[in-house]
Amino acid sequence: MTSLKGKKIWITGASGGLGQAIAEVCARRGASLVLIARSEEKLEKTASRCLTIGAGQAAVYPFDLSKTSEVPDFVYRVLEAEGNVDVLVNNAGFGLFETLEKTEEDVIKGMFDVNVLSLILMSRGVLPAMERHGSGHIVNIASQAGKIATPKSTIYAATKHAVLGFSNSLRMETADRGILVTTVNPGPIDTNFFDSAEPSGSYASKVKKWMLSPQKVAEKTVDSFFTGTREINLPGWMNAASRVYALAPGAVERIGKKGFNQK
């Protein structure tokens, strides 16, 4: 277990789910945390928990990342207050499992705002600070949905494809500046993500036995800090399927049609 003492870790979507799990793993390794999400009350609970288990600091910054026009100023204000950022974990995001024609325009826009545009703007905002220090790490939480799209995930899959494309390009841009870029591509995680993505609970109940533990994903994510890891793909069998899909997408879509249509 690598110590993170003296490191400042920013985490978006830190009020619950995977973001909270990542914050707790960082706290146990002694990191100083900058916790970002909409709910101040939930952030305070995460911060309190992190301080009790070893965090050097746990600063709370309530902010709605769907307000993309305000993101650059928000990043500036946090940098002014905190002075540095060693790792930015862009974890905030949401999904909705619905056919395209039933997906409202405001949901489409909101998903791109939170999942893609705010992630890009947060990354752009911290780059100058990381470059001044000659090091830094941007970790973008994407999804296996960014590699294998499925029905009723048109918008969510599109946002995660965008995150992967953005990350792959940014990784090459920053390679000679000491700034690392990693994508984390998990399959379904046992969090409250599905409460809003599929309120009926039908899909979640079908895939429950295959869901990843948020703690496992968090450990793998934090283990990648400062290592130069390009991607983390979980679970292994789903990553293998995405590799086959890249080579023979038509065949995978035919063979996997029944499973893909479980939503």
Q: Which of 61, 76, 156, 203 is catalytic?
A: 156
pLDDT at 58: 98
Adjacent-strand bridge partners of 90: 140
pLDDT computed for residue 232 by the predictor: 97
pTM: 0.92
Q: Quick one: pLDDT at residue 253?
A: 77
Given a contact cutoff of 8 angstroms between Cβ atoms, the answer to whether 154 and 100 are in contact is yes
Q: Copy the structure tokens of residue 250.
A: 């038509």
User: DSSP state, 142?
Assistant: -
- Is 64 strand, coil or helix? coil
Q: Report d(CA 132, CA 125) in Å as an integer.
A: 13
**β-strand pairing of 8-12 with 87-90:** parallel
Q: What is the pLDDT of residue 263?
A: 66
Burial 135-168 (b: 16+ CB within 10 A, else e): ebbbbbbbbbbbbbbbebbbbbbbbbbbbbebbe
User: Which structure tokens are listed for 239?
Assistant: 């990553």
d(CA 103, CA 96): 8
CB of 153 within 8 A of CB of 263?
Answer: yes
DSSP string, 221-248: HHHTTTTT--EEEESHHHHHHHHHHHH-
Residues 6+ apart with CB under 8 A from 80: none
Specify whether 156 is catalytic: yes
**DSSP H or E stretch at residue 57:** strand 57-62
Question: What distances in angstroms separate CA 237 from CA 36, 188, 241, one per listed residue?
Answer: 32, 13, 6
Contacts of 198 (CB under 8 A, 6+ apart): 96, 97, 204, 263
Question: Which pLDDT value is given to residue 247?
Answer: 85
**Over its length of 263 residues, how does the chain's per-residue pLDDT go in tens digits?**
689 999 999 999 999 999 999 999 999 999 999 999 999 999 999 999 999 999 999 999 999 999 999 999 999 999 999 999 999 999 999 999 999 999 999 999 999 999 999 999 999 999 999 999 999 999 999 999 999 999 999 999 999 999 999 999 999 999 999 999 999 999 999 888 877 777 777 767 777 777 899 999 999 999 999 999 999 999 988 888 888 888 888 887 788 777 777 76
Distance CA 31, CA 25 (A): 9
Using CA atoms, how far apart are residues 232 and 100, in angstroms rounded to an integer?
29
* Token pair of 259 as six digits: 């499973």
